[in-house]
Amino acid sequence: MSETKSAAKELKEKLFLDPKHAALRMEEKDVKEAFSFCDPYKEFLDAAKTEREAVKTGVKLLEEKGFRPFDPARKYLPGDKVYAVNRGKSLIAAVVGNEPIENGVRIAAAHIDSPRLDLKPRPVYEDAELALFKTHYYGGIKKYQWTAIPLALHGVIIDRNDRTIEVSVGEAEEDPVFCVTDLLPHLAAAQMKRTLAEGIKGEELNVLIGSLPFKDDEISDKVKLNLLNLLFEKYGITESDFLSAELEIVPAFKAKDIGIDRSMVGAYGHDDRVCAYTALQAILKTERPAKTSVLVLADKEEIGSDGNTGLKSAFLRYFIADLAKPHGIEGRTVLSHSECLSADVNAAFDPTFPDVAERKNTAYLNYGVVITKYTGARGKSGTSDASAEFAGKVRNLLDRTGVIWQTGELGKVDQGGGGTVAAYIANLNVDVIDLGVPVLSMHAPFEVVSKIDVYMAYRAFYEFFVY
Ligand code: MN
Ligand code: MN
């Protein structure tokens, strides 16, 4: 009797896919390694809260590892390391491989923009002797989450004299911060009857920035005048200079360990800097790969990838063409033989909200890097849906190299949906699959990832570059 049982058990082990918590499949030293991998990741998150800051931080790390600005006129040879910055907001880095470029390249593409509040072109106003900024939210946010938390101001202003002024207020310990106010519960009876989507409306995302008047008896808008005067003294700007600015309101808090066991990281902007950082670390470690490794850190994913710094633009295509041209090869020949990991986060199962997920096909925290064969919504609309061949290649690579992975769909069928840059790269005739880190509270000001999953993402990108 017991023999039959153990044979059945054996058979079950052989035939069933039986995912387990990654920590139960890892050696203690590898778990430790995963945890320490996330210490510099937290520093990266604090230093790179906007796409521009992510590019700057990325370039610094690339330069330290011997990457040099890309020169389209040069013919690059195996082992050469280059990077190209696109308008300060997106970045491509490459390590030239041993194989001829016409054999294709291996691309990891993540995005470095995150949901936030952008200042309107005419943001400053005064009401009831308070000074505020009008904002226009960027990306998919639940607006109520952005009230009553400390906020920082980041960005760049091109002023009337063509000067570039960089702004960062709210990050240093001694800096002031800002906030969006919310109504006290005592007076919120009517507000509480609104739907959650309308609980805070777009035009109510006004950022509090000052309350002291300019001392004068004659004029109106004294608080606004005082505020603009302070900005003029500090930055030399006037109200019109906001028109030619990209100023972003982001959470002011820093990345922190979560849990008594410190197994998770909470921070603003894991989506998608968790994949940007891990893929960046992977290419920094890559030396003399067989095929050329290409890292793409794109902007504008959160608003549909349009624009000249988003992945619907030609900048990746042009970079590949420029890399190939000195070898007498067409860019399209390279792309047609290329493979890509579209590096983006996916939703992790949340036990507080189990109903939106289908438990067998959702990703879980700590189950490793998540492979998403297709994204989209309503009958796979808007996805590139990776082929069985490419999915097989990637999962076999991860199995072979001991990278712990899982599969995950974004919610139940017809529950909602979403997309990544995968489709736009697939449209260039590249084999693409989504691979990334599962996230709790995605798009919230404070998102959660597991340290083990972060580490597995890094390992996956590295093994993909060097296989
Ligand atoms: Mn994303
Ligand atoms: Mn997103």
89-116: average pLDDT: 98
Q: Measured in angstroms, how far is the CA atom of residue 337 from the centroid of ligand 2?
A: 28
Q: Measured in angstroms, how far is the CA atom of residue 343 from the centroid of ligand 2?
A: 11
Q: Measured in angstroms, how far is the CA atom of residue 112 from the centroid of ligand 1?
A: 8
- The 8-class DSSP code of residue 72 comes to T
- For residue 138, which ligand has an atom nearest its CA? 2
Q: Measured in angstroms, how far is the CA atom of residue 201 from the centroid of ligand 1?
A: 24
The number of beta carbons lying within 10 Å of the beta carbon of residue 309 is 21
Q: Measured in angstroms, how far is the CA atom of residue 418 from the centroid of ligand 2?
A: 8
Backbone angles phi, psi at 311, to 5 degrees: -80, 0
Q: Measured in angstroms, how far is the CA atom of residue 328 from the centroid of ligand 1?
A: 36
Q: State both tokens at 24.
A: 């139960």
Q: Are 246 and 153 in contact (CB under 8 A)?
A: no
- For residue 272, which ligand has an atom nearest its CA? 1
Q: State both tokens at 280.
A: 């960046």
- For residue 442, which ligand has an atom nearest its CA? 2
- For residue 140, which ligand has an atom nearest its CA? 2
The number of beta carbons lying within 10 Å of the beta carbon of residue 28 is 8
Q: Measured in angstroms, how far is the CA atom of residue 456 from the centroid of ligand 2?
A: 20
Q: Measured in angstroms, how far is the CA atom of residue 386 from the centroid of ligand 2?
A: 20
Q: Measured in angstroms, how far is the CA atom of residue 444 from the centroid of ligand 1?
A: 12
Q: Which of 301, 250, 293, 295 is nearest to 272 (CA)?
A: 301
Q: Measured in angstroms, how far is the CA atom of residue 155 from the centroid of ligand 2?
A: 20
Q: Measured in angstroms, how far is the CA atom of residue 311 from the centroid of ligand 1?
A: 13
Q: Measured in angstroms, how far is the CA atom of residue 28 from the centroid of ligand 2?
A: 32
- For residue 420, which ligand has an atom nearest its CA? 1
Reduce the DSSP state of residue 133 to 3 states and report it: strand
Q: Which is it for strands 292-298 and 105-111: parallel, antiparallel or unpaired?
A: parallel
3-state percent breakdown (helix, strand, coil) of the chain, nearest 5: 35, 25, 40
Indicate the pLDDT class of residue 2, thresholds 50, 70 and 90.
low
Q: Measured in angstroms, how far is the CA atom of residue 290 from the centroid of ligand 2?
A: 32
431-444: average pLDDT: 98
Q: Measured in angstroms, how far is the CA atom of residue 424 from the centroid of ligand 2?
A: 16
Q: What is the CA radius of gyration of the chain?
A: 24
> What rounded mean pLDDT belongs to the chain?
97
- For residue 421, which ligand has an atom nearest its CA? 1
What pTM was computed for the model? 0.97
- The span from the CA of 49 to the CA of 293, in Å, is 26
Asked if pLDDT for residue 273 goes beyond 60, the answer is yes
Residues 445-457 pLDDT 10s = 999 999 999 999 9
C-alpha distances in Å from residue 224, one per residue of 154, 231, 244, 372:
20, 10, 20, 49
C-alpha distances in Å from residue 269, one per residue of 9, 48, 119:
44, 9, 18
Reduce the DSSP state of residue 118 to 3 states and report it: strand
Q: Measured in angstroms, how far is the CA atom of residue 55 from the centroid of ligand 2?
A: 18
Residues 224-262 pLDDT 10s = 999 999 999 999 999 999 999 999 999 999 999 999 999
Q: Are 345 and 275 in contact (CB under 8 A)?
A: yes
pLDDT (0 to 100) of residue 54: 98
Which residue do the tokens 């968790």 mark? 274
pLDDT (0 to 100) of residue 1: 55
